């Protein structure tokens, strides 16, 4: 059986690219708080109750 990094089903880490400063950052797709860019402070993703919604960022790829 494949061992996941974390225990929750369907939880993933996403590599996203900040639209403002073009820096890549890894975020948790079930974060419960706003995820901010560590470089410029833009709001990369906002929580929606389940998954986060990307705001000032775009998804580069999912990390398994
Ligand atoms: Zn940024």
Q: Is 42 left (phi over 0), alpha (psi -120 to 50) or beta?
A: beta
Compute, in angstroms, the gap from residue 56 CA to the centroid of ligand 1.
8
Compute, in angstroms, the gap from residue 43 CA to the centroid of ligand 1.
8
Distance CA 32, CA 4 (A): 20
Q: What is the DSSP letter of 4?
A: P
- Looking at domain 13-63, does it have CATH number 2.20.25.100? yes
**57 SS3 class:** strand
Compute, in angstroms, the gap from residue 2 CA to the centroid of ligand 1.
34
Task: Give ∠ CA 60-27-54 in degrees, rounded to 5.
Answer: 65
The pLDDT tens digits for 2-35 are 555 555 567 899 999 999 999 999 999 999 999 9
Compute, in angstroms, the gap from residue 9 CA to the centroid of ligand 1.
29
Q: Tell me which of 42 and 1 has the higher pLDDT.
A: 42
In 3D, which of 22, 19, 4, 14 has the Cα closest to residue 52?
A: 14
pLDDT of residue 5: 56
Compute, in angstroms, the gap from residue 1 CA to the centroid of ligand 1.
37
pLDDT of residue 64: 78
């Amino acid at each position: 059986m494949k061992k996941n990094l974390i225990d929750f089903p369907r939880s993933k880490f996403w590599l996203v690219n900040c639209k403002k400063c073009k820096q890549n950052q890894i975020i948790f797709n079930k974060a419960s708080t706003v995820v901010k860019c560590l470089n410029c402070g833009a709001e990369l993703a906002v929580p929606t109750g389940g998954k986060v919604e990307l705001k000032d960022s775009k998804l580069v790829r999912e990390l398994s």
